Amino acid sequence: MKVLVVHCHPLEESLVAAARDRALAGLRAAGHEVRLTDLYADGFRPELSEWERVHHLDPPDGKPEIARYAADLRWCEALVLVYPTWWAGQPGMLKGWIDRVWVAGVAYELPPGANRIRPLLTNIRRLVAVTTHGSSKFVNALEGEGGKRVLTRSLRVLCNRRARTSWIALYAVDRADDAKRAAFLDRVEQRMRKLQ
């Protein structure tokens, strides 16, 4: 399978970076073809410019800053997002990647006269989040799991209609000991080895 891994964390020595490495190891061990996007290493600019907002329905050909990211989305059959959950959702850098790259002509089209968008990323059959949460699963449930909803409700509908989602999370990471962190990393690698 063709798998795009999108990593978002500013610290290379973080647990999230370790989860990225274990996800890559599991995917490669399973024989998947893998591409990695590291948003911080790329110096990705997350803010949507005034021009981009005004021209959000224009074809993506006139948006060279997102061309490589759009090509990767069109190429992959599985998308793995590796990031920390901050303030109950994706970090600003990852949210900006979604805002700027999942645009008309890449993720969807709005035909003239239509009032419903048509998904374009039908090549994507699997969506996976690998994430950490500072608070417990209970607190996240009370908050409504905003980041999970973005994956399972917003991004998923722009993919293949039978696209499946997976949520691989370490809750209460701030209180997790070394054994829990190691178990999380093992789980990430094992789940990626079994990705279908």
How is the chain split into domains, by residue range? 2-193
Query: What pLDDT is recorded for position 92?
Result: 96
Task: Provide the strand spans (E) within the chain.
Answer: 2-7, 33-38, 78-85, 108-109, 118-119, 126-133, 164-170
64-78 pLDDT, tens per residue?
A: 999 999 999 999 999
CA distances from 70 to 16, 101, 168 (A): 24, 6, 25
114-125 pLDDT, tens per residue?
A: 889 999 999 999
16-44 pLDDT, tens per residue?
A: 999 999 999 999 999 999 999 999 999 99
Name residues whose C-beta falls within 8 Å of residue 151's C-beta, 6 or more positions apart in sequence. Answer: 81, 127, 129, 165, 167
**Which CATH number fits the domain 2-193, given the four candidates 3.10.450.50, 2.60.40.740, 1.20.120.10, 3.40.50.360?**
3.40.50.360
Q: Which two tokens stand for residue 69?
A: 């990211």
List own/partner pairs for 30-34 with CB under 8 A and 24 or more apart. 30/192, 30/193, 30/194, 30/195, 32/1, 32/2, 32/3, 32/78, 32/195, 33/1, 33/2, 33/3, 34/3, 34/4, 34/5
Query: What pLDDT is recorded for position 141?
Result: 83
Question: pLDDT at residue 14 above 90?
Answer: yes
